Amino acid sequence: MTTNMTIYDISEKAGVSIATVSRVLNGSSNVSEKTKKKVMDIINRYEYTPNAFARGLGLNTMKTIGIMCADSSDLYLAKAVYYIEQLLRSNGYDSLLCCTGYDLNTKEQSMELLISKKVDSIVLVGSNFIYEKEEDNRYICDAASVVPVMLLNAALEAPNVYSIVSDDYTSMYKATAQMIASGRKEILYFYNSFSYSGKRKLAGYRAAMEEAGIFQNGLRMQFYKGSHEDIHAMAKQLTEASQCGLSFDGVIAADDNLALGAVKYALQNGLKIPEDLSIIGYNNSLLATCCEPELTSIDNRLETLCQHLITTLMGILNGEEMPKKTVFSGEIIQRGTTLLQ
């Protein structure tokens, strides 16, 4: 029995999650004595050793990678999943995707599900999988004790976790600085997320504004809570803010959807783009070429990030030493919604 026993079998026989088994094996204190005993009884009865498990994993690879993304209807995430699946396939790997939503509980469940399907690694697409509180990221560390975990555009320092990141801070800093240099002073930041990436973007905007010394009246910021598809609701929020006395001659948006909301706002209020209102979006998505004038947008080189993630993953699965964190820089794609300098 020894050689065929895996962490999955122990989890099943003990009636506890894989994460719990892994916590017991790693001597974590976050497990009740009762559960610990249940797991150890199974381990002792079947003479399981972590070594046998590791060996089993290596030999019986299913050549399948688990992917998790919060929301497949988000253009950016869907595109990332598309690239990753294509690249995995060309490397001879199948993939299984779970769309988890934004709830931590469901993310944990999906992680369990993928690990129970014996994937060779798990790729987390997008920065909303990382939480501020360390304990909320435990599900990632638990998974990483079983298989390598790859983060796309998020970072977490933990064993067996690899981060591939776009430098959103610098990209947003540069975009804001460029708009300031073009003569704009009342630049509104329009955003809808407090994720890891969301916070980095906001920090880049703040830094550029502070550095230019146009911070004294407080920053102009609008947080949008509605559906990421409801362009009209975004435009409405800006119109209302403007009617309440908020003046702005530029909009830096945290994604292209929000930037389109600003374009719609300008058209509805008779503002000329870019003369009366400059707009910069983020992601350089399909949406950037849909409107008129077309959207200046930050390209964070998603395809490059995905390629690098897969190269790193293939290295890890081949037993090579790979970098734990890699950072790429983005690029501003100039189109009609900004003034030429």
Please report how close the Cβ of residue 214 comes to a second copy at its closest, in angstroms.
Answer: 31
With CA atoms as reference, report the closest residue to 251 among 192, 187, 206, 202: 187
Which residues touch 98 (CB under 8 Å, ≥6 apart)? Answer: 66, 67, 68, 69, 110, 113, 114
* Residue 298 to residue 291: CA distance in whole angstroms: 16
Residue 255 phi/psi, 5-degree rounding, is: -155, 170
Residue 55 to residue 3: CA distance in whole angstroms: 8
Rule CB under 8 A: say whether 99 interacts with a second copy: yes
Question: Quick one: which of 286, 325, 327, 331 contacts a second copy (CB under 8 A)?
Answer: 286
- Asked if residue 280 binds a second copy (CB under 8 A), the reply is no
What are the DSSP calls for 198-219, one per residue? HHHHHHHHHHHHHHTT--TT--
Q: Which of 89, 185, 272, 325 binds a second copy (CB under 8 A)?
A: 89
CB of 203 to a second copy, least distance (A): 29
- Residue with Cβ nearer a second copy (13 or 264): 264
For a second copy, the closer of residues 36 and 79 by Cβ is 79
> Contact at 8 Å (CB) between 168 and 197?
yes
Residue 82 binding a second copy, by CB under 8 A: yes
Please report how close the Cβ of residue 103 comes to a second copy at its closest, in angstroms: 10
Tally DSSP H helices, then E strands, for the chain. Answer: 12, 12
In the complex with a second copy, which residue's Cβ is closer, 126 or 204? 126
Spatial CA neighbour of 121 closest among 161, 75, 69, 175:
161
Neighbours of 134 (CB within 10 A): 10
Smallest gap from Cβ 12 to a second copy, in A, equals 12
The CA-to-CA distance between both ends of the chain, in Å, stands at 72
Binds a second copy (CB under 8 A): choice among 123, 149, 287, 306: 287
For residue 110, state whether it binds a second copy (rule: CB under 8 A). Answer: yes
Give the residue with the Cβ less far from a second copy, 100 or 176: 100
* Pairing mode of beta strands 325-328, 278-282: unpaired
CB 313 within 8 A of CB 150: yes
Q: Which is nearer to a second copy, 63 or 325 (CB)?
A: 63
Question: Looking only at residues 223 through 242 of this chain, which bind a second copy when binding is defined by CB under 8 A?
Answer: 229, 231-232
Token representation of residue 64: 């399948």
Taking the complex as a whole, the smallest distance from the CB of residue 190 to a second copy amounts, in Å, to 16
DSSP three-state, residue 325: strand
Q: Check residue 94 for interaction with a second copy (CB under 8 A).
A: yes
Asked if residue 4 binds a second copy (CB under 8 A), the reply is: no
User: In the stretch 46-65, what mask flags binding to a second copy with x, by CB under 8 A?
Assistant: ------------------x-
Q: Interface with a second copy includes 86 (CB under 8 A)? A: yes
Q: How far is the CB of 304 from a second copy (least distance, A)?
A: 16
Residues at the interface with a second copy (CB under 8 A):
64, 71-73, 75, 78-79, 81-82, 85-86, 89, 94-99, 101, 106, 109-110, 113, 117, 229, 231-232, 257, 260, 264, 267, 286-287, 289-292
